[in-house]
Amino acid sequence: MRGDVRKSGKPGSTAISGCAPDVRDLGADYAGPVMGSALRNAVSRAWGRGRRVARLLGDAAWAAPDRHVPFAPQLGRTARLALGVTGLVAVLVLAASADQQLVQLVPSSLAWALAALQALPLLLVVSRPLAAWRLSALGLTLATFAEVGHAPTPFWPWPVSSCIAFVVLVFVTAQRYGRDIAIGVDLLTAGAVLLPALLLVDLPPVVLGVAVVAVTLVLVLGESIHSRLEAERHLEQAEQQRRAGLARQAVLEERSRIARELHDVVAHHMSMIAIQAEAAPYKEPGLPDQTRRTFTAIREASTTALTEMRRVIGLLREEDEGAERAPQPGIDGIPDMVRAARGAGMQVDLTLTGGPDGVPSVVDVSVYRIVQEALSNAGRHAPGAHVAIEVERSSGGVRIEVIDDGGPGGSRAPLPPGGNGGHGLTGMRERAALLGGTLRAGRRSGGGFAVTAWLPMDGPRVRTRDGRGESSTNGIVLRDVTADGVGDEAIGGDSTGSGGSGRDGTGRDGVRNGNGGPAVVDLTGAGHPGGGGLDALGGHLDVEMGDGHVNGQRDGRAGERPGGHPNGQGEG
């Protein structure tokens, strides 16, 4: 039932007539805690706001450090010097004008000191703007106290020149420090500079209000410029991060593309190893069982490696990207590329300098891709330009040079960070680095753009423990060694893997790098019937790592060979 509300005799409680006693007690129990909680929240909010205002005032008055203002960085040294001299003269004029107005109200020595304190801090606006504002505000406040009893009332106690200097300092401070300092400066200007004039020299309240509004508008203008500059800075940082992300993505995608191309090269060689290992027992029916098992292990390892490579390439390939069926292009495909470019309207000259025919497949593909990317960049960024391509093969490597004249007028559009579909300069640099080569790309002094690359034939150079360079891929050294089974096991060989020949036919074949140098791979089997390489019946693949492991194992069990060492792997 509905009851009437009335005050109960118990302080801080309300009784409800017509209701059960437990309902009246419930209202009495909850009224006090709810009101106490609301009061505590209000006090807490007020205390927090008061602390924030106090912090803003403290920062503006003394706590906040100064921030250097760049002085016309876009101008040259002479222009900055001329601008500085002009500013110095203007500040001195303001100080002199302030002194002439103050000397009518205060002694001349005090007038000059007050004028200097109000106007000369403008000289510090470049290096210490907040400190300059503090000095100028102090000078204005001291002038108000000094003019008490000397100035007529009501009266505006500050020279116009000092007000101009103060407004400039207020604007620069807000523009450099932002909202928090601007609020503190506004509060201090109203409370410590303008309010004393209202109390001491009877400054009209309307004039006080107009002055406060004017200072606030100047601070708002400066803070808005500060916010815009900060937003531009954050956008620039975000753009730089985006470009860096695109560059990293371009590198990863180009490495993935290179890996897919290298798959064809490596798969060809692995297939040859598997085929030769499969065919060896048929070419020589009288091979011992241990040798047959060795060839079987080689064939199985090769086919397993091919399978794993296909899986890796499948992971690197994009979801919507199908397998590439066409053979990888090489140096021989550059003339066709040039003819296609000429058919598209480009002016291209090609010079191919002969050299060794046996260019490694990896180098062959990389030369084609670098020329393709450089020619594509020239067509995109320098339409109508004359492009000269030179590819020079030598015994040491391949030199590539692609130069364009920039097109009509010699001008060339800037290259975007991401390059083109092949990732432009990023892709070219990745390919050159993969082979241990070099690549230089940049604008020419006479106009146009030049790309120059050098790709060595023998791959990157790695540093061995004795400090000498060695041609290697992932630390595995390829070398022609003999496997004629003559001599004892070498001891004390150098770290480049030239420790000597192996034991006789009952022991290890090949060589062992004596001091833990890079791994040695024997692919020749010289001295055996049937010629060199794995097609020789006595040929073998002997890989030993520098840490004493052979083929990554200490005691393999894939197959036995004479001498008690499984799978021709010897104990490390």
Residue 62: inside a domain:
no
Residues 454 and 344 in one domain: yes
* DSSP output for 417-482: TT-STT-HHHHHHHHHHHTT-EEEEEE-TTSSEEEEEEEETT--EEE-TTS-EEEEETTEEEE--B
Q: Tell which of 203, 225, 256 closes a domain.
A: 203
Residue 386: inside a domain:
yes
Q: Tell which of 15, 33, 50 closes a domain.
A: 50
pLDDT at 402: 94
Q: How many other C-beta atoms are found inside a 10 Å radius of the C-beta of residue 163?
A: 19
Phi, psi of 549 (to 5 degrees): -85, 145
Residue 349: inside a domain:
yes
Residue 226: inside a domain:
no
Residue 227: inside a domain:
no
Helices (H), 59-123: 77-102, 108-119
Burial of 424 (0-12, 13-18, 19+ CB in 10 A): buried
Report the alpha-carbon distance of residue 195 to residue 205 in Å, rounded: 9
Residues 414 and 491 in one domain: no
319: helix, strand or coil: coil
Q: Tell which of 281, 316, 351 closes a domain.
A: 316
Dump pLDDT digits (tens) for 370-389: 999 899 888 888 888 899 99
Residue carrying structure tokens 């492991």: 549
Q: What is the CATH number of the domain that holds 448?
A: 3.30.565.10
> What end-to-end distance do the CA atoms of the chain give, in Å?
97
Report the alpha-carbon distance of residue 91 to residue 84 in Å, rounded: 11
Residue 215: inside a domain:
no
pLDDT at 423: 56
- 397 touches 457 (CB < 8 A): yes
Residues 425 and 473 in one domain: no
Residues 87 and 40 in one domain: no
Report the alpha-carbon distance of residue 273 to residue 265 in Å, rounded: 13
Residues 335 and 455 in one domain: yes
Residues 46 and 152 in one domain: no
Distance of CA 194 to CAs 248, 268, 359, 507, Å? 57, 88, 85, 102
- Least Cα distance to 483 among 533, 519, 517, 518 occurs for 533
Report the alpha-carbon distance of residue 122 to residue 119 in Å, rounded: 6
Residues recorded for the chain: 572
| Weakly modelled stretches of the chain, pLDDT under 50 | 1-20, 23-24, 26, 416-422, 462-572
Residues 478 and 453 in one domain: no
Burial of 137 (0-12, 13-18, 19+ CB in 10 A): buried
Contacting residues for 430 by C-beta, under 8 A, at least 6 apart: 251, 254, 255, 258, 423
Residues 307 and 335 in one domain: no
Distance of CA 384 to CAs 230, 378, 405, 450, Å? 42, 9, 9, 16
Q: Quick one: angle between helices 129-146 and 108-119, nearest 10?
A: 150
Range of the domain at 502: 461-572
Distance of CA 82 to CAs 24, 87, 93, 525, Å? 85, 9, 17, 81
Dump pLDDT digits (tens) for 432-466: 888 889 999 988 888 889 999 999 987 665 444 44
Token output for 539: 């040929």
Residues 85 and 151 in one domain: yes
What DSSP element (H or E) covers 352? strand 347-353
Contacts 24+ apart (CB under 8 A), 393-397: 393/331, 393/353, 393/354, 393/355, 393/356, 393/359, 394/355, 394/356, 395/355, 395/356, 395/457, 396/456, 396/457, 397/363, 397/437, 397/454, 397/455, 397/456, 397/457
Residue 46: inside a domain:
yes
- Least Cα distance to 472 among 546, 572, 549 occurs for 546
516: helix, strand or coil: coil
pLDDT at 235: 94
State the total domains in the chain.
5
User: pTM of the full predicted structure?
Assistant: 0.53
- Least Cα distance to 164 among 115, 197, 199 occurs for 115
What DSSP element (H or E) covers 398? strand 397-404
pLDDT at 566: 36
402: helix, strand or coil: strand
pLDDT at 89: 95
Contacting residues for 399 by C-beta, under 8 A, at least 6 apart: 390, 391, 392, 452, 453, 454
Instruction: Annotate 129-190 with three-state secondary structure.
Output: HHHHHHHHHHHHHHHHHHCCCCCCCCCCCCCHHHHHHHHHHHHHHHHHHCHHHHHHHHHHHH
Contacting residues for 114 by C-beta, under 8 A, at least 6 apart: 98, 102, 106, 139, 142, 143, 146
Residues 18 and 82 in one domain: no
Residues 273 and 377 in one domain: no
Distance of CA 421 to CAs 376, 377, 456, Å? 9, 10, 26
Report how many helices (DSSP H) and strands (DSSP E) the chain contains, helices first: 12, 12
Token output for 335: 């003339």
Helices (H), 284-406: 289-316, 334-343, 361-381
Burial of 432 (0-12, 13-18, 19+ CB in 10 A): buried
Residue 233: inside a domain:
no
Could you say which DSSP state residue 560 is in?
B
Residues 247 and 339 in one domain: no
Contacting residues for 62 by C-beta, under 8 A, at least 6 apart: 134
pLDDT at 213: 96
